[in-house]
Copies of this chain bind each other. A is one copy, B any other.
Amino acid sequence: MAFYSKEDLVVLLKEAGLRVTDHRLAILSSISRVRQPVTVYELVDTLRKKENIDQATIYRNLSSLHIAGLIRRLDFNHGHAHYELETGRVSHQLVCSNCETIEKIEGISIDDVIKKILKKSKKFKQTTTHSMEIYGLCKNCV
């Protein structure tokens, strides 16, 4: 969805203070090319053969990229994590409680809600990111 050139990705990595490696570029590129938040399994499956990346490397890089704020880690109660690019745009997920269907909705800000929540908080003064998963049955599963 977000199409980054290799040069863009290099800049992103450098700005984040991360070394630029082919593997990181391949992972970011792979994540950015799919519409749905991707699973580790899918990345391993795609990149192991093509780029000869080990799964430990993928896990380690996903962790680095996540900590650096370049990707988001999402949980849909599937028993495994999903990842998507951290675009800056707000993004929330509709998740089917029955099948693997998820639908990403972008562009609806909840900053005011978060502001209210922060006001009530005793332990937090500010926040960095958030994730919201909304569960229900998709059309096929109703």
Interface of A toward B, CB cutoff 8 Å: 73, 75, 77, 92, 94, 96-97, 101, 103, 105, 107-108, 110, 113-114, 116-118, 120-139, 142
User: B117 to A127, Cβ gap below 8 A?
Assistant: no
Measured between beta carbons, the chain B residues less than 8 angstroms from A134 are 114, 117, 124, 127, 129-130
CA A97 – CA B101 in complex, angstroms?
28
Q: Which one of B75, B125, B130, B136 lies within 8 Å of A77 (CB-CB)?
A: B75
Q: Which one of B110, B120, B123 lies within 8 Å of A138 (CB-CB)?
A: B123
Measured between beta carbons, the chain B residues less than 8 angstroms from A127 are 94, 134-136
CA A128 – CA B82 in complex, angstroms?
22
Q: Which one of B101, B108, B125, B130 lies within 8 Å of A135 (CB-CB)?
A: B130
Contact A116:B123 (CB < 8 A) given known A97-B128, A128-B97, A130-B135: no
